[in-house]
Amino acid sequence: MCGRLSQYRGVHDFVATLSLPEAWRNNIGDQPLGQYNIAPTTPVAVLRMDAAGLRADLVKWGWRPHWATDRAAPINARVEKVAHGPFFRAIWPYRAITPVDGWYEWVDEGGPRKQPYFIRRRDGRPALCASIGQFIGNAGDGCVIITADAQGGLVDVHDRRPVVLSPQLARAWIAAGLPSAQAEQLVLNLGEPADCFEWFRVSAAVGNVRNQGAELIDPLP
């Protein structure tokens, strides 16, 4: 992933996609988020479980352990290493879903600048991205999205993709008590396949993080 997301629907739409009927806590609000161009280090909506049940929060996109002061906070974690490497060890048990309307990639097509593409689910539903994070209520909080090798036609736009889960698997991912080994196998092997997605060229205006309008995701002629 190149590091831009869209979350323009309201959090109620994201929760409805997750298909959890029980009561939940909305700490974000009822209005559409209207964020078409989310950059790293800025807040993203995440859905997660705690002792009181499902909750929706805004959390910084990006995280690093307290000892990693020599580098910028990563926004993604490679699925091949996330469960065992030392960097994300402290947050691996704290699983969440980052629901997105889509994400952007930039492709070198031989022009003076790379061409941005927007990727989204073909069925129009939000993509439920497997994530982990620190959610203790201080300045060190943040989340990362788990990524895997791209497959099928998605390879043409980038070599990595977020691990997007079906609603059933997303519920399993955030459920309390999911064993670590089972969680690892879930994200290693059960992400949605490439044919669930579509992608198309969009305006270069998305390169400026100040631009947030719906026109950013309009397909180019």
Rg of the chain, C-alpha, whole Å: 17
Please compute, for residue 117, the number of CA atoms within 13 A of its CA located in the half-sphere on the CB side.
19
pLDDT at 94: 97
Q: CA-CA distance, 28 to 5, in Å (whole number)?
A: 17
- The pLDDT of residue 21 is 74
| Strand positions, DSSP E, 40-141 | 43-50, 53-60, 76-78, 95-100, 102-107, 115-121, 127-134
143 in active site:
no
pLDDT of residue 61: 98
Exactly one of 105, 129, 143, 192 is catalytic; name it: 105
Nearest to 50 by CA among 98, 94, 100, 99: 94
Does residue 198 have an active-site annotation? no
- Residue segments in the chain with a per-residue pLDDT below the cut of 50: none
What distance in Å separates the CA atoms of residue 118 and residue 59, rounded to the nearest whole number? 23
Q: Which of the residues 2, 184, 196, 198 is marked catalytic?
A: 2
> How far apart (Å, rounded) are the C-alpha atoms in residues 77 and 83?
10
Residue ranges of domains in the chain, CATH in brackets: 5-100+125-192 (3.90.1680.10)
- Residue pLDDT, tens place only, 155-204: 999 999 999 999 999 999 999 889 999 999 999 999 999 999 999 999 99
pLDDT computed for residue 108 by the predictor = 94
pLDDT score of 1: 72
Q: Which residues of 162-187 are buried (b: 16+ CB within 10 A; e: fewer)?
A: bbbbebebbbbbbeeeeeeeebbebb
142 bridge partner residues? 134
Task: Round to whole Å and give the CA distance between 45 and 11.
Answer: 8
Q: What is the largest CA-CA distance in the chain?
A: 52
Residue type (1 letter), 188: L
Would you state the structure tokens that stand for residue 162, as one six-digit string? 């977020």
Write the secondary structure of 3-40 as one string of H (helix), E (strand) and C (coil). CCEEECCCHHHHHHHHCCCCCEEECCCCCCCCEEEECC
